[in-house]
A and B are shown apart, each in its own frame.
Chain A
Amino acid sequence: MSLHPTPDLSVWVAAFLTLCIFSFLYRDNPFYKFAEHLFVGVSAGYYIILNFWTVLVPNLGEPLLASFQGRGVVTARDGMFAASLGDYRGWLLIPALLGLLLFTRLFGKIGWMSRWPLAVIIGVFAGLKTTGYAQGDLVAQIEGSLQPLWTGNPATTINAIIFTVGLLTSLLFFFYSREPRGAFGVVSRVGIGFLMVGFGAGYGYTVMSRVSLLIGRFQFLLGDWLGLR
């Protein structure tokens, strides 16, 4: 095993900043603070520029400019408002105006105008989420939960029984209109057991995710930076 450090300066900078962040594990220190502040500043600048060039310019600026200049997508007709021919670019003035209204929050007296674009955003997303959730989760999951308890295969039969018991007891645990005593209390406690298994699986996966990040950084330091091979 030998070292082959990279000559790439950007990798050295990334490695230095990684070590700065790792230093927090020992205690808070100026190197960590430096890397933290640098990250916040660079991220903010990066996302502002990114959103300007990948969101505002191609989705609003360029289409509006083209329609102002009379360059229609449909050769049969030039102009801004050729919706009947499938060209809706001129109508982008409306979302542009709504977008600008969001900034009225910065000016006390007319701040109420920012509620209009917020109403549109909330309305559209409520509609999308409701229909998506109903179709993708509610109906499909109920349908998926209705499965035969006897499948002919002992392994899948046991799976189906465990699944159904877990589903029903977990649901009954959340039935708060009755005190969990007697048989109902036993069922609730079984439900808690299934929920605990679920939480445990979730915790295990969370550990895996966090350790993966650490492994990723170590792989970067050992491979990309030090060139250990």
Chain B
Amino acid sequence: MSPLERLARLDRRWIFLMMGILVLIPLLWPLRMEIRPTASSKTFHRAIAAIPDGSTVLMSCDYDPGSIPEMVPMTRTAMRQLWEKNCKVVVTVLWPGGPGLVDKVIEDVALADFPGKRYGVDWVNLGYKPGNEAVMVLMGQGILTAFPNDYRGHATRSLPIMQRARTYADFPILISISAGYPGTKEWVQQVQARFHLPMVAGVTAVSAPEFFPYVQSGQLVGLLGGMAGAAEYEKLRNESGDASRGMDAQSLAHVFVALCIVLGNLVPRRRAGS
């Protein structure tokens, strides 16, 4: 039996095992491969850097625990960049499973790196509201109307941060960190297009190709695509987070998948030939 014929009969569990090993090894012994930020990641970073210090920013974190490895590093890095600029951050979460997770992620960033930042003054989690696009449109009529209470049960009207966050016009930028529907696409359609609010986005890799046309057209000023985008953003900020640490494993896994595709295409050709 030739090697290719043996390959055709290979138990797929060997592929799983190989993939596991290739992902595990660089996590234990980092290879420190170079991360080169792409243009869309640079513009994401630059867009946030360009907003006036002390601004109040709208950040929508539309994800749940299923996309933690891609979304959480982006959220953490964006929060650090915003708080270094002393910005106030109004957070919405349009996924029902997300508010608790997002609350903890931001709270952890505050505790670890910005102990002076206070809830209700420097940031607020408006939490989840059902309605998807309808919520985005409703927020255009007034943020307080759409969210009378925040995730923690406070009346939003009473929070200091909300005194200058009443409509979309009060925000210099919208940051959308999104894992699907509702998310970046809906924010572009319902808010960027209607209210002309400058917007940047961090999205899962699987959905990233869908959003590059928005970068091309200028509807999105910057875009982070998946773990690679998050790692590039960390690199631009001179940080070394979970995304950067995962990129060695990501690269080896991609080489392995490419190899599997090449070999997988050779096997049927061999069969056809014989």
- Listed in ascending order, the chain A residues whose CB lies under 8 Å from chain B are 1, 25-26, 46-47, 50-51, 54-55, 58-59, 124-125, 128-129, 132-133, 135-137, 140-141, 143-145, 163, 198, 201-202, 204-216, 218-219, 222, 228
B221-238 CB contacts (< 8 Å) to partner A: 225-228
* Docked complex Cα distance between A27 and B155 (Å): 51
Is the beta-carbon distance between A215 and B27 smaller than 8 angstroms? yes
Of B13, B70, B137, B209, which is within 8 A of A212 by CB?
Answer: B70
16 interchain pairs, CB-CB under 8 A:
A50-B128, A54-B96, A59-B130, A128-B134, A136-B192, A202-B209, A207-B254, A208-B227, A209-B70, A209-B226, A211-B254, A212-B70, A212-B226, A212-B227, A215-B227, A219-B246
For the complex of A and B, list the 5 residue pairs with the smallest distance between their C-beta atoms, beginning with the closest: A144-B217, A216-B69, A136-B189, A132-B189, A209-B206
Is the beta-carbon distance between B189 and A135 smaller than 8 angstroms? yes
Q: Report if B159 contacts A (CB, 8 A).
A: no
* Shortest Cβ distance from residue A20 to the other chain B in the assembled complex, whole angstroms: 16
Mark contacts of B210-224 with chain A using CB atoms, 8 A cut-off: 1 yes-contact digit, 0 otherwise: 000100111100000
Is the beta-carbon distance between B97 and A47 smaller than 8 angstroms? yes
Is the beta-carbon distance between A129 and B254 smaller than 8 angstroms? no
Is the beta-carbon distance between A205 and B226 smaller than 8 angstroms? yes
* Shortest Cβ distance from residue A134 to the other chain B in the assembled complex, whole angstroms: 9
Is the beta-carbon distance between B129 and A128 smaller than 8 angstroms? no
Is the beta-carbon distance between B205 and A144 smaller than 8 angstroms? no
Is the beta-carbon distance between A208 and B193 smaller than 8 angstroms? no
Q: Report if B149 contacts A (CB, 8 A).
A: yes
* Docked complex Cα distance between A25 and B15 (Å): 10
Q: Report if B208 contacts A (CB, 8 A).
A: yes
Q: Report if B122 contacts A (CB, 8 A).
A: no
* Shortest Cβ distance from residue B184 to the other chain A in the assembled complex, whole angstroms: 11
The interface residues of chain A lying within 8 Å CB-to-CB of B204 are 209
> Number of contacts between A and B (CB, 8 Å)?
137
* Docked complex Cα distance between A109 and B150 (Å): 41
* Docked complex Cα distance between A28 and B148 (Å): 48
The interface residues of chain A lying within 8 Å CB-to-CB of B194 are 132, 135
Is the beta-carbon distance between B68 and A216 smaller than 8 angstroms? yes
The interface residues of chain A lying within 8 Å CB-to-CB of B149 are 58
The interface residues of chain A lying within 8 Å CB-to-CB of B70 are 209, 212, 216
Query: Do A207 and B257 form a contact, CB below 8 Å, given A135-B193, A214-B23?
Result: yes
* Docked complex Cα distance between A198 and B212 (Å): 11
The interface residues of chain A lying within 8 Å CB-to-CB of B193 are 132, 135-136, 140
* Docked complex Cα distance between A137 and B220 (Å): 12
* Shortest Cβ distance from residue B257 to the other chain A in the assembled complex, whole angstroms: 5
Is the beta-carbon distance between A219 and B27 smaller than 8 angstroms? yes
* Shortest Cβ distance from residue A38 to the other chain B in the assembled complex, whole angstroms: 15
Query: Do A205 and B206 form a contact, CB below 8 Å, given A125-B133, A132-B133, A216-B68?
Result: yes
Residue of A1, A47, A51, A144 ringed by the most chain B CB atoms within 10 A: A144
* Docked complex Cα distance between A202 and B212 (Å): 11
Q: Report if B253 contacts A (CB, 8 A).
A: yes
Residue of B nearest to A88 (CB): B145
Is the beta-carbon distance between A205 and B227 smaller than 8 angstroms? no
Residue of A nearest to B217 (CB): A144
Of A144, A204, A228, which is within 8 A of B213 by CB?
Answer: A144
Q: Report if B188 contacts A (CB, 8 A).
A: yes
* Shortest Cβ distance from residue B137 to the other chain A in the assembled complex, whole angstroms: 7
Residue of B20, B186, B193 ringed by the most chain A CB atoms within 10 A: B193
* Docked complex Cα distance between A41 and B49 (Å): 44
Is the beta-carbon distance between B216 and A55 smaller than 8 angstroms? no
The interface residues of chain A lying within 8 Å CB-to-CB of B86 are none
Is the beta-carbon distance between B28 and A141 smaller than 8 angstroms? no
Is the beta-carbon distance between A208 and B205 smaller than 8 angstroms? yes
* Docked complex Cα distance between A216 and B71 (Å): 11
* Docked complex Cα distance between A195 and B254 (Å): 21
Residue of A nearest to B149 (CB): A58
Is the beta-carbon distance between A219 and B242 smaller than 8 angstroms? yes
The interface residues of chain B lying within 8 Å CB-to-CB of A202 are 209
* Docked complex Cα distance between A46 and B16 (Å): 32
* Docked complex Cα distance between A59 and B133 (Å): 17
Is the beta-carbon distance between A212 and B213 smaller than 8 angstroms? no
The interface residues of chain B lying within 8 Å CB-to-CB of A26 are 13
